[in-house]
Chains A and B, each alone.
Chain A
């Protein structure tokens, strides 16, 4: 065996171990877009809320049922748009690299992230039905952050940091009732844009595949 083969052998083992366990086709650009959707959604929500209500900081907000339904629909539209953009751009990026987006590591990524996400989703819906509106934004942020941290073992390490920031933001939001929407916009809007931009410049740019 030649000396250079030895190095090639070891580096091929290392890349394979990494590539087989981590899903690295997550699109950075889709993070930026998801953040923009969230910010637009938050602006619309802010207008919907302030049209008939005075803004009362440090109090649990008291919205009418009609307004709540509008806000929930708005949130769902933002969610569906963000997820579909993410899935589409990720599939495109995987294709550009000649990989299948639905592979063992992406399955593991989803399987690990989905439990906190669904738990959090149901928990938040229960709170909403019970009328605890002030806990919804922190609840969304904290559970989303936990889900990212849980999934992050199977993709870029940067995802773990996004998760930790979401959790911290969620906890701060819980301390400051009445500002839920602002924290929601910061967590789902601003953080996603920052994270997406970092990912884009760190991993995507040289591949120019979004």
Chain B
């Protein structure tokens, strides 16, 4: 059965973007390689979704070096966290409506 998408965040329509956001909300910050390992996605795929979230200002990026290796870390921004919460509430409301 089809259900209405009220309050749904376009940015989180994609599964991987929603997963990235859940990891970043639960952690202070997370680096690219750990995210890749956790979500079992390819470099290019993850990078493009991270770019999209960055463009929406849902996450912030900080680049540094560990020895000679570049280390890119991601944090959820305030805007991102509140968008994520709203999205979850929308999901929960949908479930409640269906139980009625």
Contact = CB atoms under 8 A, between A and B. Distances in A.
A13 B19 contact: yes
Interface in A1-34: 1-3, 6-7, 9-10, 12-13, 16-21
Interface string B21-44: 011011100110010011100000
Interface string B77-100: 000000000001001101100100
Contact of B38 (A2, A3, A9, A20): A20
Interface in B59-89: 88
Nearest to B40: A98
Scoring B1, B2, B3, B22 by chain A CB atoms within 10 A of each residue's CB, the highest score goes to B22
Interface in A146-201: none
B19 A103 contact: no
B23 A9 contact: no
A103 B37 contact: yes
Interface of A is mostly: helix
Interface residues of A, number: 19
A100 interface: yes
Report the contact-size class of chain B (Cβ under 8 Å from the partner).
Answer: 20 to 34
B37 A2 contact: no
Given A3-B98, A16-B19, A20-B30, A10 B91 contact: yes
Interface in A90-116: 99-100, 103-104
A6 B27 contact: no
21 contacts: A1-B2, A1-B5, A2-B1, A2-B2, A3-B1, A6-B91, A7-B95, A10-B92, A16-B22, A16-B23, A17-B23, A18-B26, A19-B38, A20-B22, A20-B23, A20-B26, A20-B27, A20-B38, A99-B37, A103-B37, A104-B30
Given A13-B19, A20-B22, 7 more contacts: A1-B3, A6-B91, A16-B26, A16-B38, A20-B23, A20-B38, A104-B34
